A = this chain, B = another copy of it.
Amino acid sequence: MDLIEIFKALGDENRIRILNLLIRQELCVCEIETVLDMTQSNASRHLNKLKTAGVIASEKKSQWVYYRVDNKFIEENNLLYEFIKNKLVENTQLLRDVERLKKYKNSYYTCEQLREDKSQVLKYLQGQCEKTENEN
């Protein structure tokens, strides 16, 4: 995929936030929207932008569509991939997102539970984050 298209796809903060998560693990749309506290339609649209640019790929499993960084992208753009991985840890917003992702992972919440009570999960995820924000 073309350099210019890749950079256009990466030129948005929310898309970098999504990529930040997908670099660490495969996630489905409903998980991404929850961890990043983003509307479903917005998440879907951003994911499509990244997919179109060849950065990520998707796979349907049962009712859910999972996204991950495309292996082909990693192979063909290894320098960029390494750069991104190295730099993610220098950004506070991205680090915050990672904390939320870890919290989500540690909770063993599932997509099904997100369906049943997403607001509960959001509250759970925000518990730690709100405290962290007050310390700043």
Q: Which residue of B lies closest to A7 (CB)?
A: B10
Q: Mark A1-44, 1 if CB is under 8 A from B, else 0.
A: 01110011011110010000000000000000000000000000
Which of A87-95, A117-125, A126-134 touches B? A87-95
Query: Contacts of A7 on B, CB cut-off 8 Å?
Result: 7, 10-11, 16
Question: Is A83's beta carbon under 8 Å from chain B?
Answer: yes
Quick check: B13 and A4 within 8 Å, CB to CB? yes
Q: Are B80 and A2 in contact (CB under 8 A)?
A: no
Is the C-beta of A135 less than 8 angstroms from some C-beta in chain B? no
Closest to A92 in B: B2
- Cβ of A79 to closest chain B Cβ, rounded Å: 4
What's the least CB distance linking A77 to chain B, in Å?
7
**A10–chain B nearest beta-carbon distance, Å:** 5
Partner of A3, one of B3, B4, B12, B16: B16
Contact indicator B83/A2 (Cβ below 8 Å): no
A interface list, Cβ under 8 A from B: 2-4, 7-8, 10-13, 16, 77, 79-80, 82-84, 86-88, 90-91, 93-94
